[in-house]
Amino acid sequence: MRQGSRTKDLDQIDADLSEGVVGGLLEQNIDYDKAGLGQFYCVHCAKDFIDTHAFKEHVKSKVHKRRLHALKTEPYTIEEANRAAGMGSYVKPGKRKMETLLPSAVVAEETLADVKKRAKLDEEAQKKKDEEEAMDKENAGVSDEDDDGDVNM
């Protein structure tokens, strides 16, 4: 039996929408293994897109709108299962207001070329910073050797 690629379930996406996690997903580090270098990620659908245009077209799509509608109801909990089994009073699941969250690259109207340029500048800045730290370490007289002349790693 052939299986397609699995997407995240609604409860996993709900966990991603929590306060501490969603900020990291909307402003991810550049990842060369992901589409769009990981900068155009739809948190609600758990998909990466190649550029701003593809992301905006996805937001208008029926698939995205259905996912937003499904995320409006709060996820199924153990307490709700117990109430449904007759252990407690039934409480109707709450509805939430759900709006599309835009990644920082989409808000800045960046193209894939802009993201690649930013990635290259970040790499150069990190390399320069590492070189300066190495020079400072050498100038400070800090040695990588101990008293016996063995190199510490």
Half-sphere exposure of 129 (CA within 13 A, CB side): 6
Residue 86 lies in a domain: yes
pLDDT value at residue 149: 67
Strand 47-48 to strand 41-42: parallel, antiparallel, or no bridges (unpaired)?
Answer: antiparallel
The whole-number pLDDT of residue 107 equals 81
Range of the domain at 72: 10-139
Whether 146 maps to a domain, the answer reads: no
pLDDT the model gives residue 143: 57
Q: What is the mean pLDDT of each run of 10 residues along the chain (153 residues)?
A: 76 82 80 83 88 89 90 82 79 77 81 84 85 77 65 70
The answer to whether position 42 is within a domain reads yes
Count the helices and strands in the chain (H runs, E runs). 7, 2
Instruction: Report pLDDT for 12.
Output: 82
Structurally, the chain folds into a number of domains equal to: 1
pLDDT at 57: 92
